[in-house]
Chains A and B, each alone.
Chain A
Amino acid sequence: MNTVTLTVKNTPELFLECENVNPDAFAGKKAADIAKLGAFQGKEITTLGDYFTIAGEAGATAADTKIVINGDCTKMKYIGAKMNAGEVIVNSTCDMYTGSWMSGGKLLVKGNVHSFCGLAMKGGEFTIEGNAGNYLGAAYRGDWRGMSGGVLRVKGNAGSDVGTFMIGGEMIIEGDVDIHLGTHMEGGRIIVKGNANRRVGGQVVKGEIYIFGKINVMMPGYKQVGEVSLDVDGTKAKFAEYIGDIGERHPKRKGETVYGKLYMKQ
């Protein structure tokens, strides 16, 4: 695997759209070619070379390409968005749409990410060492197809609207989450190792949510059906099992109604 190292040399004044910073766009290119790829601030069309010092060259394919980004990326959007393969490591905080629509490969952000990251993620591994903003792993506006595959892990906290319209894959938040977790979920699983504020699992059709800490206010549409012992992301414990959202429609399988599941660590 070849490594391309980007080092920020100019911080954008507005926000920079970096949709070309991903292994698919870099594949098969040398540093000079990568420097010519577009980067956008509003209507101003510049190049990656205007903002980054670029070293190394990409592999022949995305899968053979690793990108390491150093310097301050706080004002950069779309890093790793739509990536299909390869690896990206960002040694900084990033802005919106980081890792959104990614379908494969590995993306590691060593700082925080802003909102709308991991939107409609389809596959691969996306790890955020800091905190994540709102709409992590949610669907794009209007779409009923949110995160559908892959593993999204946040080591810190995440904001509100996490996992909206999730239909598959796995999301682990090691810290706390704000309101509206897993709203409209129809598949997949969300594990929160800290506390969840309110409105957990509203309008859920199917899917699983695990909360290790507390929920401030429980949704009226959930009812406890039992207690189970589970191994969740390496933690063995007893969990109270709830079904819900009772107010939402639910499919039937073999005559049985399929509900969303909420597990609260005891």
Chain B
Amino acid sequence: MPKDVTDVICPFCGTLCDDLIVTVSDDNKTILGVKNACAIGAEKFNHQRLPGRVQRPRMRQADGSYKEITYDEAIDWTANLLVKSRKTLMYGWASTSCQAMSIGHEIAEKVGGIVDNCATVCHGSSLIAIEDVGVPSCTLGEVKNRADRVIFWGCNPAHAHPRHMSRYSIFPRGFFTVKGHKGRKIYCVDCRYTDTAKCADEFIQVQQGYDYELLNAFRTAVRGEALPDFVGGVPKEKIQAMADDLKSARFGIIFFGMGLTHTMGRNHNIDIAINLTRDMNDHTKFAIMAMRGHWNVTGSGQVLGWQYGFPYAVDLSRRDQARHQTGETTSVDLLNRNEVEACFYIATDPGAHFPVDAMISSSRKPTVTVDPHINCTTEISDIHIPVAMVGVEVGGCAYRMDNVPIETRKVVDPPEGMLTDEELLTKINTRVDELLAKGGA
């Protein structure tokens, strides 16, 4: 008899929807159906049963082909690499559990790794802004229960976080928001008319690269000071009207995405958006939240936070201190500057996300990639170690975009004999200890 697993946490984006129902076969081996998930989330579960899934580690041969090796061989090769390398980039972590990260950090501390996560090419600029000016924020349930003004700035949840609008931000009815969508005014600020903009009551088209200036104009307008006629292509009357409307909100929220984090000025765009939010709190209640993308990237920042005090790009290469400097200890900079001599990738796909130059640099270094599937990165790695899918074949803690942790659920067994991230890292850690005890470094 197939059975339903309820309250399943989606393993895709930072929205971490936790109401999925997954139907699995009687023998716990096959996923038969997924309910409540968005198309992307459902596809993640479908990957579990893709034919041709790699089930054992593979090592690249001189001719470029891959040969199957045992987990023990892969672990030994990886441990030797880590012990030998003077400075190793240990990047990824966003698709694994916090428990696995913790073991990874222990290894990094012993071998002199630099631990970085997907924020480095995503919301890292938001984290810098928060380091500089803090952030007034809230949990997603607060938005659902209280928000009557919602601003999407440079983000497109209709595509990137498909259930965000229905679960938290536009449509749900909450305690003080019994009218749901009708009781909220939705703004969308973007340089393009996106599908999210279509859901908004008002769309403000900002000229590309003028977000900082426009936010500065909003801050100026909120203080009742004069504005130039146009800022970033937006007429001053419109800016003033929106500023006045936001002041009349009971509870406002700004959601922002890559449109702010990865356009000119990066962290400064978020910095000034945070400062606008701060100013609004002199008039009413206002919050701001980053639309964190990659599943548990938030969790990586949290674990690095409590273990070392930095949210990403944590340089443990000296082994006796932890350091952090975006622009120096961040993955792309390390690769572009050839500052590391080996790469260990886990639970993400830099090959698909990093700039080409960085990956060219990476491809010239000894590389291990730990990932359930074949991806762009595995194909430039010396070793690909497949592991169980976290949130599908093994549980573990993940943090939602608003930093709420949820223990994810296992719904099916991994393929026979396949290790989880935690098991694999534990074995690598043990092997590293053995090598170090023998005077390996």
Q: Are A and B direct contacts in the complex by CB distance below 8 Å?
A: yes
Which residues of A line the B interface, CB within 8 A? 13-15, 17, 40-44, 96, 115-116, 134-135, 141-142, 144, 165, 179-180, 183-184, 198-199, 202-203, 217, 219-221, 223, 245-248
A–B pairs, 27, beta carbons within 8 Å: A14-B338, A14-B340, A14-B341, A40-B318, A42-B340, A42-B341, A43-B317, A43-B318, A43-B319, A115-B328, A116-B325, A116-B328, A134-B327, A135-B327, A141-B131, A142-B132, A144-B132, A179-B265, A180-B265, A180-B268, A183-B271, A199-B265, A219-B216, A221-B219, A246-B225, A247-B216, A247-B219
Residues of A within 8 A of B85 (CB): 42
Least CB separation from A218: chain B residue: B228
Q: Is the CB of B112 within 8 A of A43?
A: yes
Say whether chain A's binding surface is mostly helix, strand, loop, or mixed. loop
Q: Is the CB of A41 within 8 A of B228?
A: no
Q: Mark B367-380, 1 if CB is under 8 A from A, else 0.
A: 00000000000000
Q: In whole angstroms, what is the CA distance A245 to B327 when docked?
A: 27
With A15-B339, A220-B228: A247-B220 Cβ-Cβ less than 8 Å: yes
Least CB separation from B317: chain A residue: A42
Q: Does B79 interact with chain A (Cβ within 8 Å)?
A: no
Q: Is the CB of B318 within 8 A of A42?
A: yes
Q: Is the CB of B131 within 8 A of A42?
A: no
Q: Does B47 interact with chain A (Cβ within 8 Å)?
A: no
Residues of B within 8 A of A223 (CB): 226
Q: In whole angstroms, what is the CA distance A221 to B337 when docked?
A: 37
Least CB separation from B219: chain A residue: A247
Q: Is the CB of A202 within 8 A of B327?
A: no
Q: Is the CB of B324 within 8 A of A220?
A: no
Q: Mark B217-229, 1 if CB is under 8 A from A, else 0.
A: 1111011011110
Q: In whole angstroms, what is the CA distance A116 to B326 when docked?
A: 10
**7 extra A-B contacts, CB within 8 A, seeds A180-B268, A220-B217:** A14-B340, A17-B318, A42-B340, A116-B327, A184-B132, A199-B268, A219-B216
* Closest-CB distance, B359 to chain A (whole angstroms): 19
Residues of B within 8 A of A43 (CB): 86-87, 111-112, 317-319, 441
Residues of B within 8 A of A134 (CB): 327
Q: Does B120 interact with chain A (Cβ within 8 Å)?
A: no
* Closest-CB distance, B70 to chain A (whole angstroms): 29
Q: Does B389 interact with chain A (Cβ within 8 Å)?
A: no
Q: Is the CB of A219 within 8 A of B213?
A: yes
Q: Mark B194-238, 1 if CB is under 8 A from A, else 0.
A: 000000000000000000110011111011011110010000000
Q: In whole angstroms, what is the CA distance A202 to B231 when docked?
A: 14
Q: Counting chain A CB atoms within 10 Å of each CB, which of B216, B226, B228 scores highest?
A: B216
With A44-B86, A180-B268, A220-B227: A141-B132 Cβ-Cβ less than 8 Å: yes
Residues of A within 8 A of B225 (CB): 221, 246-247
* Closest-CB distance, A198 to chain B (whole angstroms): 8
Q: In whole angstroms, what is the CA distance A144 to B132 when docked?
A: 7
Q: In whole angstroms, what is the CA distance A221 to B213 when docked?
A: 8
Q: In whole angstroms, what is the CA distance A57 to B131 when docked?
A: 43
* Closest-CB distance, A98 to chain B (whole angstroms): 13
Q: Is the CB of B340 within 8 A of A220?
A: no
Q: Counting chain B CB atoms within 10 Å of each CB, which of A41, A141, A220, A247 scores highest?
A: A220
Contact of A246 among B86, B220, B319, B339 (CB under 8 A): B220
Q: Is the CB of B268 within 8 A of A202?
A: yes
* Closest-CB distance, A22 to chain B (whole angstroms): 18
* Closest-CB distance, B216 to chain A (whole angstroms): 5
Q: Is the CB of A141 within 8 A of B87?
A: no
Contact of A141 among B227, B265, B317, B326 (CB under 8 A): B326
Q: Mark B336-358, 1 if CB is under 8 A from A, else 0.
A: 01111100000000000000000
Q: In whole angstroms, what is the CA distance A246 to B111 when docked?
A: 50
Q: Does B264 interact with chain A (Cβ within 8 Å)?
A: yes
Q: Does B432 interact with chain A (Cβ within 8 Å)?
A: no
With A42-B87, A220-B228: A245-B441 Cβ-Cβ less than 8 Å: no
The 8 lowest CB-CB distance pairs between A and B, nearest first, are A42-B87, A247-B219, A43-B112, A42-B86, A142-B131, A247-B220, A42-B317, A220-B217
Residues of B within 8 A of A165 (CB): 132
Residues of A within 8 A of B132 (CB): 141-142, 144, 165, 184
